[in-house]
Amino acid sequence: MSSTLLRTVPALRGAVRASGALKPASALASTSFVRSKATLPDLPYDYGALEPYISGKIMELHHKKHHQTYVNGLNSALDTIAEAESKGDFTKAASMAPLLNFHGGGHLNHSLFWENLAAASREGGGEPDGALKKAIDSDFGSFDNFRKQMNTALAGIQGSGWAWLVKDKTSGTLGLVTRANQDPVTGPYAPLMGIDAWEHAYYLQYENRKAEYFDAIWNVINWKTVASRFDKA
């Protein structure tokens, strides 16, 4: 399961970067010009695994329909760009940047999201320990403080978007960022943990009561995944 992710995510990072530079993602692919298609990664758990905090129906639609739409949109944007490039039509290729950002970001964000969630009966919930806990305590004062700040950031998103715990790769410090729509986390920030604040992520279960969703999701955060991202970043 996670091998699917590992295959698609690096290809995607290349693709997202290509939106600026208009270069094929071939630098990252082992076989030079055969561009691999992004594919929908399997969830590392069942659709019902995050109940009662996130309903099975939400998970199924979110993964099978919404995420799939981003995967399809990304592949179609990449096809259009490759075709335009092959004809030397760089204006056309460049005009695809917003779609590439939206669908590429949607694919990347959801891939990261699924992996930083887990069933409450398994790795989900609780609090981080070790080096990650230390970093959170030193950069946010305490875990409780961090949680409060993250929920405030989520509640403050006006429209669709995401909130992320990030590590600034230049300073090594942790921070919180929000991103509109499907804008991916880039630049000096390594995304460690993301929460989807689009209405589709909670509406069937929580309707307009999004604060309840933002409270509930802490029961299914996979701190093991977050810690391993922290160690690698």
Partner 1 sequence: MVNISSLWQYLALQSPLQSMSGEQFNITKMGLTTYSLPQLPYAYDALEPHISAQIMQLHHSKHHQAYVTNLNKALESHVAAVAANDIASQIALQQAIKFNGGGHINHSLFWKNLAPAGSDETSLSAAKDLVTAIESTWGSFDNFKKTFSAILLSIQGSGWGWLVREGGQQGGLRIVTTKDQDPVVGGDIVIFGVDMWEHAYYLQYLNGKAAYVENIWNVINWKTAGERFLGTSSSDNMPEL
> From the annotation, which residues make up the binding site?
62, 110, 196, 200
Residue 102 touches Fe ion, criterion: CB under 5 A:
no
For residue 86, state whether it binds partner 1 (rule: CB under 8 A).
Answer: no
One character per residue 107-146, x = contact with partner 1 (rule: CB under 8 A): ----------------------------------------
- How many C-beta atoms surround the C-beta of residue 197 within 10 A? 22
The region of 127-135, 166-174, 188-196, 201-209 touching partner 1 under the rule CB under 8 A is 201-209
- How far apart are CB 85 and partner 1 at their closest, in Å? 23
Helices vs strands, H then E, count in the chain: 10, 3
Task: For 96-162, give the secondary structure using H, E and C.
Answer: CHHHHHHHHHHHHHHHHHHHCECCCCCCECCCCCHHHHHHHHHHHCCHHHHHHHHHHHHHCCCCCEE
Choice between 88 and 159, CB closer to partner 1: 159
The interface partner of residue 22, options being partner 1, Fe ion, none and the CB cut-off 5 to 8 Å by kind, is: none
- Phi/psi for 100 (5° steps) reads -65, -45
Q: Does residue 194 belong to the site contacting partner 1 (CB under 8 A)? A: no
Which amino acid appears at position 82 of this protein? A
151 interacts with partner 1 by CB under 8 A: no
Q: Which is nearer to partner 1, 101 or 111 (CB)?
A: 101
Known binding residues for Mn(2+) are 62, 110, 196, 200
As a dihedral over the C-alpha atoms of residue 65, residue 69, residue 159, residue 95, rounded to 10 degrees, the angle is 180
Residue 165: exposed, middle, or buried by beta-carbon count in 10 A (0-12, 13-18, 19+)? buried
Which x/- pattern, by CB under 5 A, does the window 182-201 give for Fe ion? --------------x-x--x
CA 42 – CA 50 distance, rounded (Å) = 15
Applying CB under 5 A, which residues contact Fe ion? 196, 198, 201
